[in-house]
Amino acid sequence: MCWADLLLLPAAPYRLAAFPFAALFHHLCASGHLSLSARYIFLLAGGCLLAGTAMGSYAVLLLIPAAGSVLVLLSVSPARAHTWVFALQMSWQTLCHLGLSRQELDPQDARPAITLSTIMLLTQKATSLGLDIHEGVVPLQLGQGLLQRALPLCSYLLFFPALLGGPLCSFSRFRAQVESSEALPCWLRAVGQRCLCALALQGLRAGLAAGLASRQGCAGPGCLPCLWARALLLRLAYYVHWVLDEALLEAAGFGPEAGQGDLSLHDLWMLETTHRLAVFARTWNKSTSRWLRRLVFQRCPAQPLLATCAFSAWWHGLRPGQVFGFLCWAVMVEADYRIHPFLSARATSQSVKLLYRGTTWVFTQLIVAYILVAVETESFSMLCLLWTSCNSILPLSYGLTLLLLLLVKKLKQN
C-alpha cells in the first residue's frame, strides 16, 4: 500500500467539501444565531460527519480514543492527566499503525491512511490538552455537570475544521474563539489568498510531476537529481495541504495567530532558501515542532534532540524508513549545530562567505531530500537501495565530521 501518496492526496476533496460548512458556522456565530452550546455541538457534529464521510467504518478507530481521552481527563486528577492520556493515545495509535499496516488493503482505498493521519492529529490535541491540565493552564470546571464539562473537550478533539489537518490549536485558544461573537476582519480575503496560493503550488507540483514522469534513463534511488525532484514533489504536496488546512480554519473563524501557522510565505521562503538544517527543522511543520519541543525536548534531561526524533519516529508509525530517517535527522541537525560555527568563523571575505552559503545550501537541500525520501520509503528493500546509493555519501560525511568535531572537543577538554 502506497502510504506516502495516500497520506498526502486523498483528503483534499473532503477539506474542500467542508469549506461551505465552515463559512456557515462563521456567519452564524458572527450574527449571533448560535448559542455557546450550539456552537460546540455544530463543531462536534460536523467532525463526526466528516469522519464518517472520509473514513467510513474506520472512523470508529478515531472515535474510540477521543471518547477515552475525554473520560480519562474527567476522571483522573490533573497531576496524572497527561500521563494517562499520553499512554492511552500512543498505545492506541501504535496498535492502529501495526494493525492496518499488516492487513492486505486495497491500494486504491484511501480511508485507512486518512484514519491514521487523523489519529495522529488527535494524539497531538489530546496530549497538548493533558499537558495544559497538568500544568494548570486549563482548570477543570468542577462545579459544572458532566455533559457541560465533556462537550467542550469532545468538540475540541473532533471539531471539523481541524479534523483532517491544520496547525495545532491550544484548548484555551479554541475555547476563546468559540466564545467570540466577532467576525474576523478580512477573513474572506485571507481565505481567498490561501486558496490561490494552494492552487499555484499545486500547479507547480503538477508541472514537476509531469517533467519527472517524462524523464528518461536515471530514475532509481541512486539518481541524485531524481531523488531531489522526488523530495521536492513531496514537499510541495505538504505545502498545498498545509495552506488548504489554514484556509479552512480561517473560513471557520479559527485562523492561527501570526507566526503560529504551519506555512506562511516567509516560512516557505525560509524552507527553500536556508543553508542551515537546524533552521529547516524548526520551520518545517512548525506547530508539530512546537508540540514535540514541549512534549519531549523540554522534558528530557539527556540527549533531548535524539529523544525527540526517536519519539517522532514512534508517532509516525515506526516503519524502518521512519526510524532510520528520524534518527538520521537527529544526527544531521546535531552536526549542523557544530559544523556551521566552525565554517562561518573561517569565512571572512565576501567571496568565501558566498561560497560557504551556496555550498551549504546545496548540502542542506540534498540531505533534506535524502531524509524525506527515506521517511516516505515503504519497503525495507527500497531503503537498502537508498543506503547503498551514492546519495548516502553526504549524510555519512556529515556524521563523520560530527564525530571528528566531538573528538577534537574532548581532546581540548582533556
Same domain, 140 and 228: no
pLDDT above 70 (res 353): yes
CA atoms within 13 A on the CB side of 154: 22
Alpha-helix residue ranges (DSSP H) falling in 284-349? 286-295, 304-316, 320-344
Same domain, 251 and 383: yes
Q: Given 113, 144, 179, which residue is the final one in a domain?
A: 179
C-alpha distance across the termini of the chain, in Å: 53
Enumerate residues 6+ apart whose C-beta is below 8 A from 79: 134
What confidence score (pLDDT) does residue 396 get? Answer: 94
- Helix, strand or coil for residue 45? helix
Same domain, 87 and 218: no
Same domain, 158 and 14: yes
> Model confidence at 43, in pLDDT bands (50, 70, 90)?
very high
> Model confidence at 344, in pLDDT bands (50, 70, 90)?
confident
pLDDT above 60 (res 324): yes
Same domain, 140 and 197: no
Q: What is the DSSP letter of 34?
A: S
What confidence score (pLDDT) does residue 130 get? Answer: 95
What confidence score (pLDDT) does residue 312 get? Answer: 96
Which of 158, 213, 133 has the alpha carbon at shortest distance from 46?
Answer: 158
What confidence score (pLDDT) does residue 143 get? Answer: 57
What confidence score (pLDDT) does residue 236 get? Answer: 92
C-alpha cell at 378: 515503504
More confident residue, 9 or 95: 95
Enumerate residues 6+ apart whose C-beta is below 8 A from 190: 184, 247, 250, 255
Same domain, 153 and 245: no
Which residue range(s) make up the domain with 117?
A: 3-179
Same domain, 239 and 105: no
- Helix, strand or coil for residue 414? coil
pLDDT above 50 (res 317): yes
Same domain, 229 and 165: no
pLDDT tens track for 222-267: 678 888 888 999 999 999 989 999 999 999 988 877 666 667 878 8
Taking the C-alpha atoms of residue 113 and residue 4, their distance in angstroms, rounded to an integer, is 9
Burial grade of 10 (CB within 10 A; 0-12, 13-18, 19 or more): middle
Decide if 341 contacts 278 (C-beta within 8 A): no
> Model confidence at 219, in pLDDT bands (50, 70, 90)?
low
Same domain, 238 and 163: no
pLDDT above 80 (res 187): no
Taking the C-alpha atoms of residue 410 and residue 371, their distance in angstroms, rounded to an integer, is 29
CA atoms within 13 A on the CB side of 382: 16
Taking the C-alpha atoms of residue 369 and residue 361, their distance in angstroms, rounded to an integer, is 12
Q: Given 153, 179, 205, which residue is the final one in a domain?
A: 179
Domain count for the chain: 2
Q: What is the DSSP letter of 271?
A: H
Q: Report percent pLDDT > 70 for the chain.
A: 92
pLDDT tens track for 75-109: 999 999 999 999 999 999 999 999 988 777 777 78
Q: Given 179, 206, 238, which residue is the final one in a domain?
A: 179
- Helix, strand or coil for residue 145? coil
Q: What are the catalytic residues?
A: 285, 316
Give pairs for 233-236: CB < 8 Å, separation 24+: 233/205, 233/208, 233/209, 234/4, 234/8, 234/372, 234/373, 234/376, 235/271, 235/372, 236/201, 236/202, 236/204, 236/205, 236/208
Same domain, 68 and 166: yes
Taking the C-alpha atoms of residue 238 and residue 8, their distance in angstroms, rounded to an integer, is 7
Taking the C-alpha atoms of residue 335 and residue 281, their distance in angstroms, rounded to an integer, is 13
Same domain, 227 and 245: yes
Same domain, 45 and 148: yes
What confidence score (pLDDT) does residue 1 get? Answer: 36
pTM for the whole thing? 0.91
